[in-house]
Amino acid sequence: MDPDRKQEIVDDLDMFRDGKDYYASVGKAWKRGYLLFGPPRTGKSTMIAAMANYLDYDIYDLELTAVKNNTELRRLFIETTGKSIIVIEDIDCSIDLTGKRNKNNKKKDKNKKMPWEEEDDKVTLSGLLNFIDGLWSARGGARIITIFTTNHKDKLDPPALIHIEMSYCCFQALKVLAKNYLGVADHELFGEVRRLLEEVNMTPADVAKNLMPLPRSKNRDVDACLAKLVKALNDAKDAALAEPLLALGE
C-alpha cells in the first residue's frame, strides 16, 4: 500500500499497544476495531497477518456461519485471550446486515430483549457489535483488536471502526514491491509502469506475481520481470477497452 498510509496504520497500532494509561484515564475498554475493505486480492488477509506479526498478537479467525447460536458465540469470545486479534472475514456474507443500532430511540421496552439475547439462530451485525462492546468493557485490561473484512463496503452500515481501504496497486506501492522482489529502487521502465497503473486496475497480488522471476530462471532478471509486468498491464488495458465492445455485440 502507499507508504504514507502504511505509516499511519503503524502509528495507530503503536498508540493502541502503548495506550493502557490513556484508556484507563478515559474509562474505556482497551480495544480497537478496524474495517478492511476493497476488491479481492488487494491484501486484506495479508494486512491482518502483518498486524499480528507487528504486535505479536494471537489471531482468532471467527467463522460466523459455523456458530449455531448466541450462547456458542459468547463462549467462543470468552475463550479468547488478551493481546489478540479477532478476525471476521467477509462480514457481509456471514450475518444478517439489516439490524441497526438505534441510539436515538428514547422509548425502550423494558421487556424487549437486546439483539444478542434473541432466541433465534440468526446473528445480526447490531447484535454482534453490541455483544462485543459489552464483553470487552467487562474484561478490564485486555488488549483486543477486532477486524472485519468485506469486498462490498456499500452493503454495510459501518459502526465506529477505523476504515482501511485496500485498493489496487499504485505506483508508490509498486516501488516497494520492486524493491522487495527485484532489489531495485529505480528502473527505466518505471515511467511506463507508472502510466499504466494510472490507467489500469491491477491488485498488488497480481503485480507481485508478474514481478516473480520467469520459470526456469536461475537469476532475478530485472528487465525481464518488469517487461512481463508491462505486458500484463497492457493486456489488462486492452481487455478493459474491449469489454464495452463485447457488450454492444451481444
Chunked in runs of 10, what are the mean pLDDT values of the chain (250 residues)? Answer: 90 92 84 90 93 94 81 79 88 66 44 49 68 62 82 72 92 94 95 96 94 67 93 94 63
- Regarding whether 87 and 35 lie in a shared domain, the answer is yes
What is d(CA 185, CA 72) in angstroms, rounded to the nearest whole number?
51
- Regarding whether 73 and 48 lie in a shared domain, the answer is yes
- Regarding whether 129 and 33 lie in a shared domain, the answer is yes
- Regarding whether 194 and 97 lie in a shared domain, the answer is no
Say what the pLDDT of residue 96 is: 62
Counting beta carbons within 10 angstroms of the beta carbon of residue 193, is it exposed (0 to 12), middle (13 to 18) or buried (19 or more)?
buried
Say what the pLDDT of residue 134 is: 64
Domain end (from 165, 195, 225): 165
Its domain, for residue 17, covers 3-165
Say what the pLDDT of residue 216 is: 56
